[in-house]
Chains A and B, each alone.
Chain A
Amino acid sequence: MSILRTVDLTRSFGSLLATDSVSLDIQAGERHAIIGPNGAGKSSLLHQLGGQLRPSSGRIYFKDSDITGLGPERICRLGISRTFQTSNLFSRLSVLENVRLAVLSRRGNPLAPFVPLARLGAIEARSLEILEMVGLAGRKADPVRNLSYGEQRQIEIAIALATEPELLLLDEPTAGMSPAETARMIEFVARLPRTLTVLMIEHDMQVVFSLADRITVLHYGRLLATGTPGEITANKDVQDIYLGSAH
């Protein structure tokens, strides 16, 4: 069953086509990696799926309903959440406060004007549970800006998971991480339940090949190939244009 579909998705910046009639079909539960050289339009594609960027033309369907052009908040509420390529957090707030805001969005009543948030036990407990999952519960009181870059990437994922999505979009989750942190991230994503679909942009081929069921290659905004890791490595175009230059 397909969970996300794009049909001829196109986005232009002036004369530049950042996304050039891309048609994707992501299956429910799969781990799908998007790869491509710098400037290939990977982040632009993700911004359109997450509602941060309006497509110029084409359509996006999530579970068969048309979500083209909806704002990020609507898309999140429908069950798609995302991380950003460079950490995009509440950097002056504490680790717990960061995750708690996302939990509140899903499970609480953000309009409640008088009960202290810290006293809403269910929200607190859920936030700690998520921090436990990403292994940062011990640092709950620290301001996020005091965390290492790798830890901030984990908070990104914690916030994205806290809104309980069906589809998780990750923009280079291991960028800037040490090899040890990268290994932990691979393990973390591998352990996510299969009820969750993961679409990730990734540069690190080791990460791609240890996680992805299928891979899509973008080049100059165009979809060059989609297939299993085996198919992608065997693909002549991909070898010429992408893997050839990477190895």
Chain B
Amino acid sequence: MDEKAAAERPARAIFASGDRFARAAPYAGLVLCAALALVPLVLGDYGRSLVAEVLLYCIFAMSLDLLMGYTGLMSFGHAAFFGIGAYTVAVLGVQFGLHPLLGMLAAVVLASLCAAVIGFFCIRASGVYFIMLTLAFAQLLYSVVIRWRSVTNGTDGITSPQLASGEATYYVVLAFFLIVYFGLRRLVAAPLGNVFIGIRENEMRMRAAGYATARFKLLSFVIGGGLGAIAGALFALHNGFVSPGVLFWMLSGEGMVMVILGGLGTLLGPIVGASVFIILKHLVSIYSSHWEFIVGATFIACVLFFKQGIYGWCRELLEQKSRP
């Protein structure tokens, strides 16, 4: 490549995209948005409900990727925030008759506060200790929900208030999906997102350059937690029923699988990963009760053969093609 062209290309080494890919992306995005908007008119109840589920797990995976992929915080307790989101909507609805959309607002506030407290303790640790601490906090919340029967109804779970129709729920989920996606896209390009990326790449260097990295990591944890709660709150709306499974470590693990499967450190990666994961889960569970096994095998294959995840792999292919 000649030097002039190299100099004129925007300086974004990791995320640099093939020109053709970058030019096609907005159109592909528009087509996808239009298709998503038409889903309730085209697909039946089952299809619409499946797409809504996919979208809300996309929000969950994107919020986790802000921690894992952008800030380098391998949280194994992200279900905590999903669960807080779901239970806040359900409990406030059942106990006080609060409208689910207001419940959602409360959920985000509560989850952000919890993330600030949990993050305060976890951020101090790193590596495997961070992973274990986040897991421990999430499991703590799980046992609180199981024990606090008077409010949460324990292992029996509680019904959650819902919107008037499935279509309305779908459009609310879609709206939040778009808000979170475009919001995060701006965030990761903004100074704050670049600071997160710097911390992921070399925290010691960031500190030597004057960044109080502990505070930025906490901030990332709080934002990720708040967004994770949106996914959980939407789950309550969508599902109409919440049980302690939404706080169980399995969900944290599934979130990590979605992110890694799709591709760490990108926004489309978690979207691809969550979509593949949820659709696979539905398809396989029709034929077999061992869907975890199949998903697990897919995941291992993915980690072994395309290290950058499905999205990263597709992107590499496209870039190779667009090179002369």
* A→B interface (CB under 8 Å): 50-52, 71-73, 76-77, 81-82, 84, 88-97, 100-102, 104-106, 108-118, 120, 138, 140-144, 159, 162-163
Contact = CB atoms under 8 A, between A and B. Distances in A.
Question: What 9 pairs between A and B have smallest CB-CB spacing?
Answer: A94-B13, A76-B210, A96-B11, A143-B13, A90-B201, A105-B210, A72-B207, A116-B189, A94-B11
A81 B206 CA distance: 12
Interface stretch (B2-10, B126-134, B299-307): B2-10
Nearest to B11: A96
A116 B210 contact: no
B210 A73 contact: yes
Nearest to B185: A116
Given A88-B205, A92-B14, A104 B3 contact: no
A224 B201 CA distance: 39
A92 B69 CA distance: 14
A113 B196 CA distance: 11
A115 B191 contact: yes
Contacts of B209: 76, 81, 101-102, 105, 159, 162-163
A113 B208 contact: no
Contacts of A109: 191
Interface residues of B, number: 35
B6 A142 contact: yes
A113 B186 contact: yes
11 contacts: A82-B208, A88-B205, A89-B205, A90-B205, A93-B13, A97-B194, A100-B194, A105-B211, A106-B210, A113-B187, A113-B193
B198 interface: yes
A114 B6 contact: no
Contacts of A96: 11
A92 B190 CA distance: 18
Contact of B201 (A93, A108, A115): A93
A94 B194 CA distance: 12
A112 B207 CA distance: 18
Contact of B208 (A52, A108, A114, A143): A52
Contacts of B202: 88-91
Majority secondary structure of chain B interface residues (helix, strand, loop or mixed):
helix
B189 A117 contact: yes
B195 A116 contact: no
A201 to B, nearest CB: 16
A97 B191 contact: no
Contacts of B14: 92-93, 143
B186 A116 contact: yes
A114 to B, nearest CB: 5
Contacts of B194: 97, 100-101, 104, 117
A156 to B, nearest CB: 9
Contact of A112 (B191, B198, B208, B210): B191
Interface string B206-224: 1111111100100100000
Contacts of B187: 113-114
Interface in B1-53: 3, 6-7, 9-14, 16
